[in-house]
Amino acid sequence: PWAVQLRLWVYPVHTGEAFGLATKALSALAALGLALFAVTGVCMWWTRQPAGKLGLPRKPNVAVPIWMIGVMVALG
């Protein structure tokens, strides 16, 4: 069946064995890029924060509806 064929194709791609060294190099670059996003995010926050403060945004004047909190929890 097509589902079995798809599974037999997806697993080698996921583990990096499908196209040899090129897939492993691409996966390594993607992982390094994601790690770089985390590091640069912290660096950007560190340089933009006001002295002596955390640099968090101000609390909104409008209350957040309960349904919106539920949507955020469900999506999380």
Query: Tokens 């079995």 map to which residue?
Result: 4
Distance CA 62, CA 65 (A): 9
What pLDDT does 18 receive? 80
pLDDT tens string 42-74: 999 888 888 888 888 888 888 889 999 999 999
pLDDT tens string 15-46: 878 888 888 888 899 999 999 999 999 999 88
Q: Do 36 and 28 contact (CB within 8 A), yes or no?
A: no
Half-sphere exposure of residue 57: CA atoms within 13 angstroms, side-chain side: 3
Task: Record the pTM.
Answer: 0.53
